[in-house]
Amino acid sequence: MNERIHNLMNYLDSAHSVFHAVEGLKNILEENGYIRLQESGKWDLQPGGKYFMTRGGASIMAFRIPECTPKGFMMSASHADRPCFKVKENGELVGKYTKLAVERYGGMLMGTWLDRPLSIAGRVLVETDKGMETRLVNIDRDLLLIPNVAIHMNRKANEGYAWNPAVDLLPLMGGADAKGKLNALLEEAAGGKIIGHDLYLYIRQKASVWGLEEEFLSSAALDDLECAYCCTRGFLDASASASVPVLCVFDSEEVGSSSVQGAASDLLENLLARICKACNWDLMEMLAGSFMVSADNAHAVHPNHPEFADATNAPVINGGVVLKFNANQRYCTDGVSGAIFRKTCEKVNVPVQSYYNRADLPGGSTLGNISLCHVSVPTADIGLPQLAMHSAFESAGVKDAEYLMDAMASYYSQSITCPADGCYELI
């Protein structure tokens, strides 16, 4: 295993919640000399400066100011949240055992969460001498499990089963005498009295590389932490260009992006406006020379169910980065943006595949078309091919992760100009 994949796996293993995923990216940026800005403060941006900001601890945006007058923004968007279970307030259910009350976050494959060691991570709000502050917590041990019903009691379990989240999917965490112990454990981890929380379950299984040639990568939350990390690496590895590189990692994509830190918020729009104001650039002129890559993983053709894939556009694992198309704008790649991204990949010999939903299967959507409602620039929807999307443990390809790192380094090292409508230059 090479160093780039090893580092990716370390990141995945530490990203126990959306907040931990963003914290990991923050640490990477700071290690590379990026300065943190606060939305509530004044921004003094200098040529050659490297900056980032967070919102709600669940989204992160980074950018560099070039030494020259820029031609536009070169942006990427991915997301840090994943389908999982969120812990409810007053979550203890005490009877013959102590269970935890949870609710689903996003469209998950619920059955994949059963019979796995689980734990809890996220953010809590604690009281301080000056008021309140958020702190990250992670109970770093096997703490919970959602037990299946034995085949002897559910003889039709292998014929398909409709999971009831309020009955079948309540995690077991202790005996009848465990009341109050979870809160004590969390307050110990937080180092203070908890007055609010956003806590999630995560599986304890670590990322792994497997296969006859060690060609496959499996982990929790590959959708979309794999893209978030690979875009970050490409952003950091890129050479200087005549544009402003912007890295965006949003929250809330799995539930529609409609949150204060989601792609449907004013976050990106405000960021670009503040950069232009601080640097005395015209925002409209900058946007006219800008481009967006929306990076969210794609469906690979399934080895046992090829019938779910389009007959002529069925990406395979380790076949390269995927361009996603949809006539009804579930994905926003068009002929122009697709061609521009293909040319970007050609520069570094990264193969590109195409994905379309099968015509009679609706499929999902992603960040690109949501972001375009706020910042209207040519956009390519891309992703890495994977299996078992929205499972508790997903699988993808080792080569593809490196392909995306290389592709994004190439992308961020260039500028795209539009001297006349319908004419494009890659510099």
Which domains does the chain show, CATH number per domain? 3-82+220-426 (3.40.630.10), 85-203 (2.30.250.10)
Tell me which residues of the chain have a pLDDT lower than 70: 363-373
Peptide bond into 251 cis (omega under 30): no
| pLDDT of amino acid 327 | 83
User: DSSP strand E in 108-163: where?
Assistant: 118-128, 131-138
Helix axes 18-31, 222-237, angle to 10 degrees: 10
The DSSP secondary-structure symbol of 312 reads S
Quote the pLDDT of residue 65. Answer: 98
Give the pLDDT confidence of 73-126 residue by residue, as tens digits.
999 999 999 999 999 999 899 999 999 999 999 999 999 999 999 999 999 999
Q: What's the N-to-C CA distance of the chain in angstroms?
A: 34
Element (H, E) at 197: strand 194-203
Beta strands per DSSP E along 222-351: 244-250, 291-295, 298-299, 321-325
Rg over CA atoms, the chain: 22
Residue 212 token pair: 């006859």
For the stretch 54-67, pLDDT in tens is 999 999 999 999 99
pLDDT number for residue 329: 76
pLDDT tens for 238-287 read 999 999 999 999 999 998 888 889 888 999 999 999 999 999 999 999 99
User: What pLDDT, on a 0 to 100 scale, did the predictor assign at position 361?
Assistant: 74
Q: Is 342 left (phi over 0), alpha (psi -120 to 50) or beta?
A: alpha
Q: What tokens does 256 get?
A: 């529609």
Angstrom distance (rounded) from CA 71 to CA 73: 7
